[in-house]
Amino acid sequence: MVSAQYTANQMQQLFFQFYAELNDFLSPDRKQVEFAHWLNEPASIKDAIEALGVPHPEVDLILVNGESVGFDYLTQNGDRISVYPHCKTLEVGVTSLVRPAPLPQTKFVLDVHLGKLATYLRLLGFDALYRNDYEDEELAQISSQQQRILLTQDRGLLKRSLVIHGYIVRSHAPEEQAKEVLERFQLRDAVAPLERCPRCNGQLAAVDKAEISDRIPPLTRLHYDEFARCQSCGQIYWKGAHYDRIQQLVKRVTVSSGPSVQAGDYYSCGQSG
């Protein structure tokens, strides 16, 4: 049996401060301040951070007593821990040991609650996998194996060890969600409307009008000459009334509403304040 004195000696008092949007995951009394947190035994810094509610893919830099550490760092009594979100810049001399390597392409997979966002991302030209019957384990595997950014509103899903690239979507309004994703991943300049099928995520390619004339309504044949066909599901598209609505959507979600609350907007990650 372990004595009470022995147990007390193993406890650790840690001092945490989380910056910028990582405060979204904290209780009100822990937002924007340094706070003490007790552990019964040493733990990896990843486990300690996630126990406080912050999923590891949201973390871009961890400083312990001023030194950058990786997720496998084992906590020690008295550690002062600063945790930063996505950083546009790092302080000179600071190297992040938790920032993953950049993905070769920006591709997404979305959980079952973000179907409208998936449609909007496809309309904006982004590769966005979505099904309304994905299980959490399947989502984590797809994200890992296909090198896709997992978008979700489920913290538990994003805490799975398989997930390297991921983001918790804060907003509940689909247009705001789309804007949020464009801002977080700096994708405004990559928007390419009418390059993907909003139904199935397949790529669109121009198709000769004569080849599909039997599949388009008579009035459409009369008034339109340019068509595209989904290479996956075969759906036909043309620049009808929906085109103007898509252009309006693009304008709304790509116009910045001002500086977003991101660490790199206000300080270099690595500074203490």
The pLDDT value recorded for residue 205 is: 96
pLDDT of residue 184 exceeding 70, the answer is: yes
Q: Can you tell me the mean pLDDT for 68-97? A: 92
Say what percent of the chain tops pLDDT 70.
Answer: 90
Each residue of 185-194: pLDDT tens digit?
999 999 998 8
A 10 A CB-CB count for 62 gives: 23
Please report the sign of the dihedral spanned by the C-alpha atoms of residue 237, residue 195, residue 183, residue 152: positive
Which tokens is 153 given?
A: 């509103």
Q: What is the DSSP letter of 261?
A: -
* Secondary-structure class of domain 9-99 per CATH: alpha beta
Each residue of 3-23: pLDDT tens digit?
444 455 679 999 999 999 999
Closest listed residue to residue 115, CA positions, set 133, 92, 97: 133
Q: pTM (2 decimals)?
A: 0.89
Q: What is the DSSP letter of 15?
A: E
Domain parsing of the chain, residue ranges: 9-99, 107-192, 204-249
Residue that has been written with the tokens 């103007």 in this structure: 244
Q: Give CA–CA dist 199/242, Å, rounded.
A: 14
Query: What would you report as the CA-atom Rg of the chain, rounded to the nearest whole angstrom?
Result: 23
The pLDDT value recorded for residue 1 is: 42
Which tokens is 261 given?
A: 């609350």
> How much is the mean pLDDT over the chain?
90
Each residue of 144-163: pLDDT tens digit?
999 999 999 999 999 999 99
